[in-house]
Amino acid sequence: MSAISSQQTPVESSPSRRRFSAGDIALIAGFAALIAVSAILPAITIAGPVPITLQTFAILLTGAVLGPVRGVLAVLLYLAVGLAGLPIFSGGRAGIAVITGPSAGYILAMPLMAALVGYLVSRLTRRSAVPIFIAGVAGTILSHGMGIVGMHLRAGLTWSESFTADLAFWPGDLIKCVLMAIVATAVHRAFPDILARRKRPAAA
Q: Is residue 152 a contact partner of residue 162, using CB atoms and an 8 Å limit?
A: yes
Taking CA atoms, 121 is separated from 56, 63, 114, 139, 154, in Å, by 17, 8, 10, 11, 32
pLDDT at 161 over 50: yes
Using a pLDDT cut of 90, give the percent of the chain over it. 66
Distance CA 83, CA 113 (A): 19
> Has residue 96 been placed in a domain?
yes
In which domain, by residue range, is 31 found? 20-190
Amino acid 198: pLDDT: 55
> Has residue 57 been placed in a domain?
yes
pLDDT at 48 over 70: no
> Has residue 132 been placed in a domain?
yes
Average pLDDT on 34-56 reads 77
Share the mean pLDDT of the chain: 86
> Has residue 137 been placed in a domain?
yes
pLDDT at 4 over 50: no
> Has residue 125 been placed in a domain?
yes
Amino acid 44: pLDDT: 66
Using a pLDDT cut of 70, give the percent of the chain over it. 82
> Has residue 49 been placed in a domain?
yes
> Has residue 195 been placed in a domain?
no
Amino acid 47: pLDDT: 54
> Has residue 48 been placed in a domain?
yes
Confidence at 137, pLDDT banded by 50, 70, 90 = very high
Checking phi first, is residue 196 left (phi over 0); if not, alpha (psi -120 to 50) or beta? beta
Amino acid 108: pLDDT: 95
Question: How many domains in the chain?
Answer: 1
Q: What is the pTM of this model?
A: 0.84
Judged on CB neighbours under 10 Å (0-12, 13-18, 19+), 62 is buried
CATH code for the domain in which residue 156 is found: 1.10.1760.20
